[in-house]
Structure 1
Amino acid sequence: MSADALHFPRPVRTFPRLMDRGWTMTTTNRRDLTPVLDRVDRTLDGSLERLFEFLRIPSISAQPAHAADCRRAADWLCAELKAIGLDASVRETPGHPMVVAHDRVAAGDAAGDGRDVPHVLFYGHYDVQPVDPLDLWHSDPFAPQLIRDADGARIVARGASDDKGQVMTFVEALRALRAEQGRLPLRVSMVIEGEEESGGANLLPFLEANREELRADVALICDTGMLEGGVPAITTALRGMVGEDVTIHCADRDLHSGLYGNAARNPLELLCGILASVRDPRTGRVVLPGFYDGVRDPSPEVRAQWRAIAPSDADVLGPVGLSVPAGELGYTAVEQTWCRPTFEINGMTGGYAGDGFKTVLPARASAKVSFRLVSGQDPAPIRDAFRAHVRAMLPPDCTATFESHGGSRASVVPEDGPALRAALLALGAEWGRPAVTIGSGGSIPVVSEVRQALGMDSLLIGFAREDDRIHSPNEKYDLVSFHRGIRSWVRVLDALAHDGAPDGTRDMAGAA
Structure 2
Amino acid sequence: MTVLDQVLARIDADLDKSLERLFAVLRIPSISTDPAHAADCRAAAAHLAADLRSLGIAADLSETAGHPVVLGRGGDPAKRGVLFYGHYDVQPVDPLDLWESPPFEPRIRTLDDGRKVIVARGSSDDKGQVMTFVEACRAYVAVTGSLPLPVTMLIEGEEECGSKSLPAWIEQNRGALSADLALVCDTGMWDAATPAITTALRGLLYEEVEITAADRDLHSGLYGGPARNPIRVLTHVLGGLFDADGRVTIPGFYDGITDPPADVLVAWRNLDLTPDNFLKPVGLAEPAGERGRTVVEQLFCRPSCDINGIWGGYTGAGSKTVIPSKAFAKVSFRLVAGQDPDTIRQAFRAYVRDRLPADCEARFEDHTGAPAVAVPWDLSQLAAARKALTEEWGRDALLVGSGASIPIVADFKRLVGLDTLLIGFALDDDRIHSPNEKYDLNSFHKGIRSWARILHALAG
Name the TM-score, length of structure 1 as normaliser: 0.71
Match of 2:72 among 102, 123, 135: 102
SS in 2 for 1:102: strand
C-alpha separation in 2, matches of 1:161 and 1:250 = 50
Q: 1:411 aligns with which of 370, 374, 388?
A: 374
2: distance between equivalents of 1:363 and 1:381?
30
The 5 Å alignment of 1:167-178 reads: 167-178=130-141
Please tell me whether the aligned partners of residues 411 and 448 of structure 1 are also in contact (alpha carbons under 8 angstroms). no
Q: Distance in 2 between matches of 1:265 and 1:159?
A: 52
CA deviation string 1:173-206 (max 9, x = no partner): 3445456655433322112334545555654443
User: In the alignment, does 2:354 pair up with 1:430?
Assistant: no
User: Relative CO higher for 1 or 2, CA cutoff 8 Å, sep ≥ 6?
Assistant: 1
Matched, 1:80 2:64: no
Q: Residue 270 of structure 2 aligns to a residue in which SS?
A: helix
Corresponding residue of 1:59: 32
| Distance in 2 (alpha carbons) for counterparts of 1:126 and 1:247 | 39
Q: Percent identity?
A: 46
Deviations 1:303-338 (A, max 9, x none): 554433348533543454533101122322222122
For residue 102 of structure 1, what is the amino acid of its counterpart?
G
Deviation at 1:290, TM superposition (A): 1.7
Which amino acid letter does the alignment assign opposite residue 126 of structure 2? D
Question: CA, structure 1 residues 53+200, in 2 after alignment: closer, same or farther (shift >3 Å)?
Answer: same
**In the alignment, residue 37 of structure 1 is paired with which amino acid?**
I
Q: Does 1:91 align with 2:65?
A: no
Which residue does 1:284 correspond to in 2? 246
Is the 8 Å Cα contact of residues 294 and 377 (structure 1) preserved in structure 2? Answer: yes
The alpha-carbon deviation at position 340 of structure 1 amounts to: 1.3
Of the candidates 20, 35, 39, which is equivalent to residue 46 of structure 1?
20
Matched, 1:234 2:187: no
Which structure 1 segments of 5+ residues have no match? 1-26, 61-65, 110-115, 500-512
| One-letter amino acid matched to 2:27 | E
Report if the CA contact (8 A) 1:414-1:457 is conserved. Answer: no
- 1:381 equivalenced with 2:351 (yes/no): no
- Please say if residues 194 and 393 of structure 2, whose CA atoms lie closer than 8 Å, have aligned partners that are also in contact: yes
**Distance change in 2, residues 1:294/1:199 (3 Å):** farther
The alpha-carbon distance between structure 1 residues 261 and 127, as it changes in their structure 2 partners (threshold 3 A), is farther
For residue 186 of structure 1, what is the amino acid of its counterpart? L
Once the two structures are TM-superposed, the CA of residue 408 in structure 1 deviates from its matched residue by 1.5
Instruction: Report the CA distance between 1:341 and its aligned residue.
Output: 0.4
Paired residues of 1:380 and 1:407 also in contact (CA < 8 A): no
> How far is the alpha carbon of 1:446 from its aligned partner?
3.1
From the superposition, tell whether residues 474 and 336 of structure 1 become closer, same or farther in structure 2 (CA, over 3 Å).
farther
Query: Retained in 2: the 8 A contact 1:51–1:164?
Result: yes
Cα distance change on mapping 1:480 and 1:31 into 2, 3 Å: closer
Cα distance in structure 2, aligned partners of 1:170 and 1:292 = 38
SS of structure 2 residue aligned to 1:330: coil
Residue 164 of structure 1 pairs with residue 127 of structure 2: yes
Q: CA RMSD in A?
A: 4.4
- How many residue pairs were aligned? 450
Q: 1:46, CA displacement in angstroms? A: 1.1
- Label 1:299 to 1:414 Cα distance change in 2 as closer, same or farther (>3 A): closer
Shift, 1:342, TM fit: 0.6
Q: Which residue of 2 aligns with 1:150?
A: 112
Q: Which residue of 2 aligns with 1:344?
A: 306
Contact 1:373 1:409 in 2 (8 A): yes
State the 1:36 CA deviation. Answer: 2.6
Match of 2:150 among 176, 187, 199: 187
- What does residue range 245-324 of structure 1 map to in structure 2 within 5 Å? 245=208, 269=231, 273=235, 276-277=238-239, 279-280=241-242, 282-297=244-259, 303-310=265-272, 312-318=274-280, 320-324=282-286
> How far apart are 1:441 and its partner, in Å?
2.9
Shift of 1:380: 0.9
Q: Is the 8 A contact 1:74 1:126 kept in 2?
A: no
* Larger displacement relative to structure 2 (358-367 or 447-456): 358-367
Determine if the alignment matches structure 1 residue 224 to structure 2 residue 187.
Answer: yes
**1:242–1:309 distance in 2 versus 1, CA, 3 Å:** same
Cα distance in 1, alignment partners of residues 450 and 289 from structure 2 = 37
Q: CA deviation at 1:261?
A: 12
Q: Which amino acid aligns with 2:439?
A: Y
**Does structure 2 conserve the Cα–Cα contact (< 8 Å) formed by 1:246 and 1:368?**
yes
- Cα gap change, 1:214 to 1:297, in 2 (>3 Å): closer
State the 1:122 CA deviation.
0.4
Distance 1:346 1:276 in 2: 11
2:151 alignment partner, SS class: strand
Q: Distance in 2 between matches of 1:141 and 1:293?
A: 52
Letter in 2 for 1:88: A
What's the offset of the Cα at 1:273? Answer: 2.2
Residues 305, 42 of structure 1: CA spacing in aligned structure 2 closer, same or farther, 3 A cutoff? closer
Task: Find the partner of 2:206 among 243, 253, 261.
Answer: 243
The separation in 2 between residues aligned to 1:421 and 1:372, in whole angstroms, is 27
AA at the equivalent of 2:46 = C
Q: Distance in 2 between matches of 1:460 and 1:237?
A: 9
Which stretch shows the higher mean deviation, 434-443 or 156-165? 156-165
CA contact (8 A) 1:71 1:97 kept: no
From the superposition, tell whether residues 45 and 289 of structure 1 become closer, same or farther in structure 2 (CA, over 3 Å): same
Structure 2 Cα separation of the partners of residues 79 and 314 of structure 1:
46
1:143 corresponds to which letter in structure 2? P
Q: 1:330 — aligned with what?
A: 292
Q: Tell me which of 436, 444, 451 is aligned to 1:482.
A: 444
Q: CA deviation at 1:462?
A: 0.9
> What letter is aligned with 2:48?
E
- Runs of 5+ consecutive residues of structure 2 not aligned to the other structure: none
User: Distance between the aligned counterparts of 1:155 and 1:391, measured in 2?
Assistant: 53
